[in-house]
Structure 1
């Protein structure tokens, strides 16, 4: 997360208030003032802001928390302004949080950014646990991401990956695959959400909405004064960030409203292969009867924005890391292409029905998400008091499950730093990433696990298989790719992925 720097005048005004409040909660975690057993507290915090200066970058959050875990153990707390943060670094503790205390930790931190950009928390991925969240989640699971719906949209995914291969073929030999894969996943999500709106855009308009998406992702990570000290939220109005949140939200809303109006003008009832906006025209109208504080348009746009935000950058991260790890471990790249040659060949294009036979490709995706989870730190917030590992955790405590650390635990994973897809064909073949195995939680766990896990997995497998079937690939420099990650909510490789491509199939397959 990024943090808006606190001005000096704010420090003078807030020092006494913050110290009194934070000291009270540090020594008296119970609301009745009775001291209870509390988790170990990490040292090194500053007055007022606590450990915020450590986790605001530029080093990725999961790396910072991992270094702190090496000093403080599998569970400890940090001070985040007036709030406490609980840091969890083992799968046993993660299971306590996401299974034993699943309901207790079902809230999300309510930030100024998501209030102003996310339709006042109408985006269910950022709303607190309650009746509204349950209804939106039900709509997402049963209507937008059901097995029937995912199967009905298979043609759309195949169209997108063929377009990617065509783009790569026309751009040979040197291609920046980080950009290509980012464009692919964003186009896929927009097509799934709103149909072929991108095809009707000019190049300038297309670049504008792509820039809007990048801005939205960047602004999501910004934390303001009110996020650190909620009682001082009125001070946000004197900074520039509140205005930036509003402007970013308005620009995205303008695009979504335009797409929604097109769907309203042509809607004639929902069909199985409809995009999400058409499906939501009916679902959102019904939901407003139960939740009148949001109108139907707001619910529709908030749901579609949730899907775009949740599905585009995370899937791009998985594919980018998968390609990087394959290029840096050439024997695995060779195995993946050999599997494709055996089960599909080079005379026809791979399709979704082939995926069941591509066990190694599936293992590559799993091992990628183990080593480089797209969401390396799972954020939650305690809605009620609870116990974790015997420690009292007060309501309002912010939970950070360091997935990146957990998935490299040598107690669970032999040679945890090595890229070994074979482990998911042998010793760990029964472990999946549906949120039920707490050793592997790249898409979260518990009741707030990502509802699009199955569809994201299928798309990632199809995109990787299609690319590896179509091209022999090498780094442009002939050297291994730098594995450094950038700072942000999503774990994305920092450097461009410059590759040199050669076609493996007849030119007719790239038309």
Structure 2
């Protein structure tokens, strides 16, 4: 196309004229949509990813009859999809579909989405009378947006089994060993077995107690790194927290810490994986564009898959060699336990299954832990009275013998738990959770939800709902102390780790590591901001919720023995 834009002209109330290089094409126009539609059409390019933008602006158009035939065909397909999704069972004639914003043919509501996604979806809910449910059309897929705690509770209690599936989006296939990991696998016997292993063996109370020494030793190592010198010095907090989380997970997996190069590669795998998921692919929702402008992203996917698989394969082979040489001893490791299971059933417990567990542990247990601790420290630096309250709670418990707190002390340090819960309320690591998919028709809040609908739960919006939380944007950890309420009569409910049968099985490990690390950092070190200004709390864009600007602070040792 020689033009880089669409020239829109208001015509009859029933039509909009769209001019493509001299050709006039008329699209039906809903007068009720008003001026909003013009703005939405103008931002389609930037909302639909670089490959779609390239497709819209650079293709060579065939003769007009072919264009009209193609548009007619696509519009008919859109109507067929619309008809099928709205009449998937007899019950759909009895109950209405959830409310839905006006959409465009073919792309549906994709043009309304922008990054950070949880913010754009929160605005969308607010624009529609804070509706607890919105039905969105993302190209060829239906999606249900949940923005209230009561609707989320229905999805994950009464309809928990219905929403136990994950959508099998093509862009995620390479990052999940063909949808066989605990996170990505569809609900069924394979997923139930992985879940059983995770809850009964890998993250059981006995396993967490066994690995407590790993947490203690790695946090002590962190404190020694931060305690260099006698005065205040500037530290890049996020970098140190990344190292802490990765080394805890690696010692649990294979019984050793990462070397510098290996740690760098693991962190690159996690970062690149989250970046690719954030960018997603418009081809997931518009299949006819799956091959358009996707070459660069596919190359990155292939490289990521190769690097990650090499790292995981190295870990598995290393454990095999140690077992053959009798070097494993009495030490328990997660990969070692999985190799035990492989010896019992080699056909099922393939290396791909084991590497999928490593992938899940690395992806879910490193970046998210460091991210939450970074937010917590940022909040405490901006609220020094809360930081001092943690220190007083610790000193009241351990006295003045200058001993480092222990993991077993956490049950007697409720204010630390309140700090973490309030941090996760304000900055949940998965602001939209992971998407679910309905395996059958169901009814949520009196609305019909068709089979195959993708479910997004806007935890960020729910955690800041003014109808549930008093001063929802304020940092008030006291709201989570025993006996506290939201201030508006609601039971305290947050869901940063999800709900129901697909909630995160590693929640116990995460809370234990974050609680002990936060307590030790406050007990052993004095902390100050770099200057008089408060720490910048701007959010970055991503699948998780990173800080836009990594935390830097001043710290010095307090003389606690570690």
Judge same fold: TM > 0.5, yes or no.
Answer: yes
| Counterpart among 228, 237, 247 of residue 177 in structure 1 | 237
| Counterpart among 244, 248, 252 of residue 308 in structure 2 | 252
TM-aligned CA deviation for residue 186 of structure 1: 2.1
Mapping 1:389-408, distance limit 5 Å? 389-408=445-464
State the Cα deviation string for residues 239-261 of structure 1 (Å, max 9, x = none). 23223212101101001101110
Mapping 1:154-173, distance limit 5 Å? 154-170=212-228, 173=233
Aligned to 2:200: 142
Supply the distance in 2 between the matched residues of 1:14 and 1:235 (Cα, whole angstroms).
Answer: 18
Whether 2:185 is the aligned partner of 1:130: answer no
Residues 15 and 152 of structure 1: CA distance in aligned 2, closer, same or farther (over 3 Å) = farther
* Bigger relative contact order (CA 8 A; separation at least 6): 1
TM-aligned CA deviation for residue 27 of structure 1: 4.4
**8 Å CA contact 2:226, 2:235 repeated in 1:** yes
Residues 182 and 2 of structure 1: CA distance in aligned 2, closer, same or farther (over 3 Å) = farther
Residues 205 and 272 of structure 1: CA distance in aligned 2, closer, same or farther (over 3 Å) = closer
Whether 2:263 is the aligned partner of 1:206: answer yes
Aligned partner of residue 173 in structure 2, secondary structure: helix
TM-aligned CA deviation for residue 15 of structure 1: 5.2
State the Cα deviation string for residues 467-509 of structure 1 (Å, max 9, x = none). 0011111111231112111111111211121101121125x53
| Counterpart among 462, 474, 480 of residue 424 in structure 1 | 480
TM-aligned CA deviation for residue 314 of structure 1: 1.5
Supply the distance in 1 between the matched residues of 2:281 and 2:289 (Cα, whole angstroms).
Answer: 9
Residues 255 and 69 of structure 1: CA distance in aligned 2, closer, same or farther (over 3 Å) = same
Supply the distance in 1 between the matched residues of 2:408 and 2:365 (Cα, whole angstroms).
Answer: 22
Mapping 1:213-252, distance limit 5 Å? 213-230=270-287, 232=288, 235=291, 239-252=295-308
Aligned to 2:386: 332
Aligned partner of residue 88 in structure 2, secondary structure: coil
Q: CA RMSD in A?
A: 2.7
Supply the distance in 2 between the matched residues of 1:461 and 1:10 (Cα, whole angstroms).
Answer: 58
Q: Which has more radius of gyration?
A: 2
Mapping 1:447-466, distance limit 5 Å? 447-466=501-520
TM-aligned CA deviation for residue 195 of structure 1: 2.1
Aligned partner of residue 250 in structure 1, secondary structure: helix
TM-aligned CA deviation for residue 87 of structure 1: 0.6
Aligned partner of residue 86 in structure 1, secondary structure: strand
Mapping 1:353-392, distance limit 5 Å? 353-378=408-433, 379-392=435-448
TM-aligned CA deviation for residue 272 of structure 1: 7.9
Supply the distance in 1 between the matched residues of 2:346 and 2:277 (Cα, whole angstroms).
Answer: 26
**8 Å CA contact 2:245, 2:369 repeated in 1:** yes
Supply the distance in 2 between the matched residues of 1:182 and 1:205 (Cα, whole angstroms).
Answer: 13
Supply the distance in 2 between the matched residues of 1:386 and 1:474 (Cα, whole angstroms).
Answer: 52
Residues 355 and 426 of structure 1: CA distance in aligned 2, closer, same or farther (over 3 Å) = closer
Residues 463 and 322 of structure 1: CA distance in aligned 2, closer, same or farther (over 3 Å) = same
Moved more, 218-227 or 148-157: 218-227
State the Cα deviation string for residues 377-408 of structure 1 (Å, max 9, x = none). 12211121111112111122111111111112
Moved more, 14-23 or 173-182: 14-23
Supply the distance in 1 between the matched residues of 2:542 and 2:390 (Cα, whole angstroms).
Answer: 30
Aligned to 1:297: 351
**8 Å CA contact 2:219, 2:244 repeated in 1:** yes
**8 Å CA contact 2:51, 2:294 repeated in 1:** no
| Counterpart among 467, 475, 497 of residue 411 in structure 1 | 467
Aligned to 1:38: 97
Whether 2:534 is the aligned partner of 1:480: answer yes
Aligned partner of residue 528 in structure 2, secondary structure: strand
What stretches of structure 2 of length at least 5 have no aligned partner?
Answer: 1-46, 62-66
Supply the distance in 2 between the matched residues of 1:2 and 1:466 (Cα, whole angstroms).
Answer: 45
Aligned to 1:92: 150
State the Cα deviation string for residues 250-302 of structure 1 (Å, max 9, x = none). 1010011011101011126998851211111122454554x4xxx61111000
Residues 422 and 122 of structure 1: CA distance in aligned 2, closer, same or farther (over 3 Å) = same
TM-aligned CA deviation for residue 429 of structure 1: 7.3
Supply the distance in 1 between the matched residues of 2:329 and 2:107 (Cα, whole angstroms).
Answer: 52
Mapping 1:10-89, distance limit 5 Å? 16=72, 18-28=74-84, 29-31=86-88, 35=93, 36-43=95-102, 45-57=103-115, 60-72=116-128, 73-89=131-147
Aligned partner of residue 143 in structure 2, secondary structure: strand
| Counterpart among 318, 321, 332 of residue 262 in structure 1 | 318
Moved more, 1-10 or 182-191: 1-10
**8 Å CA contact 1:108, 1:380 repeated in 2:** yes
State the Cα deviation string for residues 427-467 of structure 1 (Å, max 9, x = none). 4479xxxxxx8831010001001001111111110000010
Aligned to 1:434: none
Supply the distance in 2 between the matched residues of 1:162 and 1:10 (Cα, whole angstroms).
Answer: 63
Aligned partner of residue 405 in structure 1, secondary structure: helix
Whether 2:516 is the aligned partner of 1:471: answer no
Aligned partner of residue 502 in structure 1, secondary structure: strand
**8 Å CA contact 2:430, 2:545 repeated in 1:** yes
